[in-house]
Structure 1
Amino acid sequence: MKTAAISLLTLALAGCSLAPAYERPAAPIPTAYDTPAEDGQAAMPQDWRAYFGDPVLQAWIAAALANNRDLRVTALRIQEARALYGVQQADRLPAIDGSGEFSRGRSVEPGQAGLPVANRYRAAVGITAFELDFFGRVKSLSDAALSRYLASEEAHRAASLSLVAETATAVFNQRSIAEQLRLTESTIALREASLTLTQRRYDAGLETAIGLRTAQMLVETSRATHAELSREYRQAVHALGLLAGDFSLPAGTDGVLLENQTLTPLAAGLPSALLSRRPDLRQAENTLLAANADIGAARAAFFPSVQLTTDIGTTAGSFSDLFGSGTGNWVFAPKLTLPIFNAGRNNANLSLAETRKHIAVAQYEGSIQRAFREVADALSARDTLRIQIDAQRKVRDADRDRQRLAERRYDRGVANYLEMLEAQRSLFDSEQEYIRLQQRRLVNAVELYKALGGWETQPEADTGS
C-alpha cells in the first residue's frame, strides 16, 4: 500500500503538460532602421548615471526612484504576484495536516437501555484531496503564475525606466523655462530703456506717436510673456515635486544653459536587440507565456482528475491508551472524477484560453512594432533637429547683427525707430526658438535612451517601505 501511494505521488509530481510548445513569434519589423548609427556613438550604459552625468539631474532622478508613489505601487505589484505564485506552487505538493479529536457521549441502540457514557480520543495525520497531476493541470497553472510574476517584475523595470525619462524631461523643461525667463527679463530691461528714450524724443517732437505706441506695446508684450513663463515655471517645479515624491526639494535655477548640456550619444544597434533590452517587451512575452500555460490547464480539464486523501491515526477510549497497541487505523482513499457533461464549460474555457493567447500574441507583436517606431522616430528627430538647430543658430546670430546695425543706423539718423524695434522683436523671437530647440534636442536624447531600453543593469524591486 505504501509503495502504491509513493508511486502515485511520484507520477503526480512529474505529470505531463498539455500546454502547447512555446515558440516566440517572429518580430514583425524591418531588420534595420532607416537611420544608421554614426561613428563615435556608445553602446547602452550599464547604469543610468553613466548617461545622465549632470549632478543636479542625477539627484532628481535618484529622488524619483526612491520616493515616487506610482513606482512604489508597481513594486508592491511584484510582491502580490510573488505571493500568488507561491500559493499556486504550493498546490503542486501535498499538504499534510495533523489533527486531534475528543468526544464524549452515549450511543443509543434499539432494544438496549442504560448504555454507559463513553470517551473517544483520536490523533491523526493525513493528506486531504491532493490532486495527482497526471495531465499537468496544476503544473500549467503554476507556470502561468510564474510567468505573471516575472511579467510584474518587468513592469516595474519598465516603470522605472519611464520615470527616469520623465524626470529628465521635466528637469530640461524647467531649465528651458528658466532660461527663457532670464531672456525675457533682460529684454524687458532693454525695452523699458528704449521706451524711456522714445518718450523723451516724443516730448521733444523728435519721434512720432506710432513709434511711442510701438515701444509701449513691446514693453507690455514682454511683461505678459514674463508672467506666462513665471506661471509655467512654477508648474514645472510642481511637476518635478510630484515625480520626485517630495514637494519640499529645492528646485532653484542652476544657471545651466541648455546649449552647453550634452548627453552620451547612443548607438541604436539592430532592432532585434530591443527584445532583450526593453522591459516592456519582456513583460509582453511573459504575459504570452502565461496565456500559453493557461491553454494547458484548460486542456487538462477534459481528462479525468484523481484526488488522493489519506489518513493515519490512532483512536482510544482514554488518553493514556491513545498510542497503545491495537489503536492504530488508516484510510487510503483515491477519488477519480471523469467529466461527462458540463454544458460545454470545458470547451468554452479552452476557447477562452486560446483566444486570450491570440490576444497576447497580437499585443506582443504590437509592442515590438511600437518599440521599433519609437526608436526610428527618435533617430529621425535627432538628425533633423541637428539641422534645425544649426539653421536656427544662424538665424539668431543674424538677428543679433541686424539689431546692432539697426541701432547704429538709428543713432546716425539713417533708419527710423520702427526699424530698430522690429529688429529687437525679431531677435527675442529667434532666441526663444533657439532655447526651445535645444530643449527638444535633449528631450529627444532622453526619448532615444528610453526607446532603446535604458540601462542594461536593471534595478531591484523596492517597495519604499
Structure 2
Amino acid sequence: MATGFMLVLPACGIPQVCCPQPGPVLPESFNAVTNSPSMNPAPSAETLQQVSASDEESDATTFASFIEAADTQELSDDSPTTLQPAQVNSETSPSDLPSNGDVAVGDSAGNVTATNPYEELLEFEDDGVTDFDDEVINWENSARISWWEFFDDPNLTSLINEAFTGNQELKILAQEIRKACLEVQARQGEYLPFVTAGLGAGLEKSSRFTREGAVEDQLTAAPGRGFPEPLPDFLLGANVTWEIDIWKRLRNAKNAAAYRYLATREGRTFVMTRLVAEVAENYYELLALDNRLQTIDKTIEIQQQSKEFALAKKEAGRGTELAVQRFQADISKNQSEKLIIQQDIIEVENRVNFLLGRYPQPIARQADDYINLSMHSLSLGIPSQLLRNRADIRQAERELAAAGLDVKSARARFYPTLALNAGVGYQAFNTKYIFNSPESLIYNVAGDLVAPLINKKAIRADYLSANATQLQKVYDYQRTVLNAFTEVINWMAKVDNYGKSIEIKKQQLASLESSVDNATKLFQNARAEYMEVLFAQRDLMEARLVLIETKQQQLAAVVNAYQALGGGQF
C-alpha cells in the first residue's frame, strides 16, 4: 500500500489543469520555532493592550508586534532544533503557485522557502522525557501512523482511496486553494512596478483667437510649410508607475495572503482527516448492521424450532395453543425488526456512496468475526505533538499570523505613500517623423509623496477592524486548542471504557447462551415452561445486539480518537 493512495492535486490543487509549479515562499517572519504553537502559545487577552486609533499612537501594542518580538528573541541553549525548510514536492502534495512569478514573500535578506505543511514544523524533543520510564509511559503519538496502515481492512482502504478522488467537498477545497494561491500573486503584484504601453492618434484644430492658434500662425513645421490644419497627433510610449513600499504595507498584505494560503491547505488536510474518519465509521456501522441481521436470523431460526416443538407437544396433547402463539408472536416481531435493519443498511451504504462522490451501489465488506475485530492501539504522546499534528490547530495558527500582518498593513495606511512615475515615447504630427530622435522623443519623471489629511476616520476604522479581527483569531486559536485536547481526552476514555464493557458483555453472553441451552432441554423434557424458553431467548438476542452495538461504539471511538490525535499522514 505504499503507492496509489495519495491524492495529487498539481497546479494549486487542480487536477490535470497545468503542470506542477514551484511553491510559494513563506514570509520572512515565519519561523518553525516561533510559529509553532507548542513553543509560543497564543497570548491571553490580558497580554494584548487596548489599541488606540490616534495617529500619534500608531505604535500601540498589537499582536503583530508580539509576533515580531517572538521572531527576534534569542533562543536558549536548550531550545529545540529547527528543521531546515524544504521545497514542496509536488509529487506528494498539492503544488502551490503558477510559474508567473515565484511568490517571494519577505525581504531579500533571508527568504524562507515554503515547506511541506506536513513536515515544516520542527521535530520537537522534550528534555523531560528522559526523566520517565519508557516502559510505563509511551511517548509515541498514534497520529504518526499512516491511515492505510492504521486501517488494515483492504475493503475500507479502497473506499478511502476512492473518497479522496471523488469527494465533492475536497474538489471544492481544491478550488479554494487555487483562489488563495492566486490571491498571493495578486498581492505580490501590487508592490511591483506597473508598466504600461500604448499607441495614440488624434486630430486637433485650435481657434485662431486663442493663444495656441495665434502661436501656430507664427510658426512653421518646415521651411516654407505651415502646420497642417487640423493638426494630427501620433503617440507611441510606455509608462511606469511604482509605489515604493517604505512602510511594508503592501509586503505585509502579501505575507498575510501567503499565510492564508497555507491555512487553506491545512483546512483541506483537516477535511481529509475527517473524511477518513467518516468513511471508516460508516463502514464499521455497516459491519455492525450485518451482524445484527445475522443475530436476528439466528434467533428466528431458534424460535422457529421452539415453535415446531411446541406445536408437536400440542398435537400430542402435552401442550397448549398459547405456547405456539407466543413463539409465533416473537418470530413476527423479529421479522419486522429484520426489515428495519435492512433499511438501515441501505441508508448507511448510500451515506458511504455520497462521501465517495458516486451514485448508490452496494458496498463491499467482510463481516466475519466482528466482535473480535481488533485495531491498532492508540497512544497520546506528548501535548506538543498534538499541537503539531492537528491540522485545524495549524490552520488557526496561520490565520492568526495573517491577522497580525493585516494589523501592520492597516497601520501603515496612516503614513505617507511614495510613488514614482516615469514615461518615455515618441510623438509627432506625421508618422514619418515619429522615430526621429531626439526631435520626436518625449519623456517624463515624477515623484509623489501623498499623506492622508482628512479621511483619517475611515483609515482608523479599518485599523480598529483589523485589531478586532486579530483578537477574534486569538480566541479562535485558543478555542481550537482547547477543543482538540478535550476531544482527545473524551475519545481515549471512550476507547478504554468500551473495551472493558465488551469484555464484561462477552461473559454475560456466554452465561446466557448456556441458559438458553438449559431452558430448551428442560422444555423439551417437560420440566420447564415455554415462558422460560422465551425469556431466555429474548435475553440472549438482546445481549448479542447490545454487544454488537457496544463494539460499534468502540470502533467509532477508536476512529474518532485517531482523528482527534491528528492522524492521517497525508
Give the TM-score, by structure 2 length.
0.72
Q: 1:395 to 1:407 in 2, by over 3 A?
A: same
State which drifts further: 197-206 or 346-355.
197-206
Matched residue SS, 1:104:
strand
Could you tell me whether the CA contact under 8 Å between 1:202 and 1:208 is conserved in 2? Answer: yes
Match of 1:378 among 475, 491, 494: 491
Match of 2:155 among 48, 56, 69: 56
Superposed CA RMSD: 2.5
TM-superposed CA distance for 1:44, in Å, is 3.3
Q: 1:37 to 1:422 in 2, by over 3 A?
A: farther
Q: Which amino acid aligns with 2:463?
A: L
Matched residue SS, 1:254:
coil
Q: Which amino acid aligns with 2:335?
A: R
Between the aligned partners of 1:101 and 1:423, the Cα distance in structure 2 is 99
Between the aligned partners of 1:49 and 1:436, the Cα distance in structure 2 is 25
Judging by fraction of residues, say which structure has more helix: 1
Show the 5 A alignment for 1:218-233: 218-233=330-345
Could you tell me whether the CA contact under 8 Å between 1:120 and 1:315 is conserved in 2? Answer: yes
1:281 equivalenced with 2:387 (yes/no): no
Q: 1:338 to 1:42 in 2, by over 3 A?
A: closer
TM-superposed CA distance for 1:150, in Å, is 0.9
Q: 1:80 to 1:182 in 2, by over 3 A?
A: same
In structure 1, the residue matched to 2:374 is 262
Matched residue SS, 1:110:
coil
Could you tell me whether the CA contact under 8 Å between 1:107 and 1:115 is conserved in 2? Answer: no
In structure 1, the residue matched to 2:192 is 93
State which drifts further: 249-258 or 355-364.
249-258
Residue-by-residue CA offset, 1:205-249 (whole Å, 9 max, x unaligned): 422454333212211111121011011011011111101111255
TM-superposed CA distance for 1:309, in Å, is 2.0
Could you tell me whether the CA contact under 8 Å between 2:143 and 2:389 is conserved in 1? Answer: no
Matched residue SS, 2:238:
strand
Matched residue SS, 1:247:
coil
Between the aligned partners of 1:258 and 1:41, the Cα distance in structure 2 is 28
Could you tell me whether the CA contact under 8 Å between 1:99 and 1:125 is conserved in 2? Answer: yes
1:141 equivalenced with 2:263 (yes/no): no
Matched residue SS, 2:426:
strand
1:408 equivalenced with 2:521 (yes/no): yes
Show the 5 A alignment for 1:68-217: 68-110=167-209, 116-128=229-241, 130-217=242-329
Matched residue SS, 2:414:
coil
TM-superposed CA distance for 1:41, in Å, is 7.2
Could you tell me whether the CA contact under 8 Å between 2:139 and 2:380 is conserved in 1? Answer: no
Between the aligned partners of 1:195 and 1:42, the Cα distance in structure 2 is 55
Residue-by-residue CA offset, 1:337-371 (whole Å, 9 max, x unaligned): 21112262222211111111111000001000100
Gaps of 5+ in 2: 1-27, 29-57, 71-127, 130-134, 218-226
Give the TM-score, by structure 1 length.
0.87
Residue-by-residue CA offset, 1:26-72 (whole Å, 9 max, x unaligned): xxxxx99xxx9866977434531111111000111011111000111
TM-superposed CA distance for 1:334, in Å, is 1.9
Q: 1:45 to 1:277 in 2, by over 3 A?
A: closer
Between the aligned partners of 1:451 and 1:255, the Cα distance in structure 2 is 26
Between the aligned partners of 1:38 and 1:402, the Cα distance in structure 2 is 43
Residue-by-residue CA offset, 1:249-305 (whole Å, 9 max, x unaligned): 541453333224222213210122122111111110111111111101111111112
Could you tell me whether the CA contact under 8 Å between 2:502 and 2:547 is conserved in 1? Answer: yes
Between the aligned partners of 2:384 and 2:271, the Cα distance in structure 1 is 22
Between the aligned partners of 2:536 and 2:154, the Cα distance in structure 1 is 38
Q: 1:99 to 1:187 in 2, by over 3 A?
A: same
Q: Which amino acid aligns with 2:477?
A: Y
Matched residue SS, 1:358:
helix
1:316 equivalenced with 2:415 (yes/no): no
Matched residue SS, 1:414:
coil
In structure 1, the residue matched to 2:383 is 271
State which drifts further: 45-54 or 87-96.
45-54
Matched residue SS, 1:103:
strand
In structure 1, the residue matched to 2:535 is 422
Could you tell me whether the CA contact under 8 Å between 2:417 and 2:451 is conserved in 1? Answer: yes
Could you tell me whether the CA contact under 8 Å between 2:150 and 2:375 is conserved in 1? Answer: yes
Matched residue SS, 1:434:
helix
Q: 1:316 to 1:310 in 2, by over 3 A?
A: same
Structure ranking higher on relative contact order (CA contacts 8 Å, 6+ apart)? 1
Matched residue SS, 2:454:
coil
Between the aligned partners of 1:319 and 1:276, the Cα distance in structure 2 is 67
Could you tell me whether the CA contact under 8 Å between 1:151 and 1:286 is conserved in 2? Answer: yes
In structure 2, the residue matched to 1:6 is none
Matched residue SS, 1:340:
coil
In structure 2, the residue matched to 1:350 is 463
Could you tell me whether the CA contact under 8 Å between 2:247 and 2:412 is conserved in 1? Answer: yes
In structure 1, the residue matched to 2:143 is 44
TM-superposed CA distance for 1:394, in Å, is 0.5
Q: 1:312 to 1:350 in 2, by over 3 A?
A: same
Q: 1:211 to 1:39 in 2, by over 3 A?
A: farther
State which drifts further: 169-178 or 439-448.
439-448
TM-superposed CA distance for 1:307, in Å, is 2.4
Matched residue SS, 2:207:
coil
Match of 2:65 among 20, 29, 35: 20
Q: 1:450 to 1:298 in 2, by over 3 A?
A: same
Gaps of 5+ in 1: 1-13, 25-30, 459-465
Q: Which amino acid aligns with 1:98?
A: A
Could you tell me whether the CA contact under 8 Å between 2:140 and 2:381 is conserved in 1? Answer: no
1:387 equivalenced with 2:486 (yes/no): no
Matched residue SS, 2:143:
coil
Between the aligned partners of 2:260 and 2:138, the Cα distance in structure 1 is 40
TM-superposed CA distance for 1:397, in Å, is 0.7
Between the aligned partners of 1:249 and 1:320, the Cα distance in structure 2 is 76
Matched residue SS, 2:182:
helix
In structure 2, the residue matched to 1:301 is 413
Between the aligned partners of 1:41 and 1:265, the Cα distance in structure 2 is 11
Could you tell me whether the CA contact under 8 Å between 2:349 and 2:361 is conserved in 1? Answer: no
In structure 2, the residue matched to 1:27 is none
Between the aligned partners of 1:159 and 1:183, the Cα distance in structure 2 is 36
Q: Which amino acid aligns with 2:199?
A: G
Matched residue SS, 1:413:
coil
Match of 1:251 among 359, 363, 368: 363
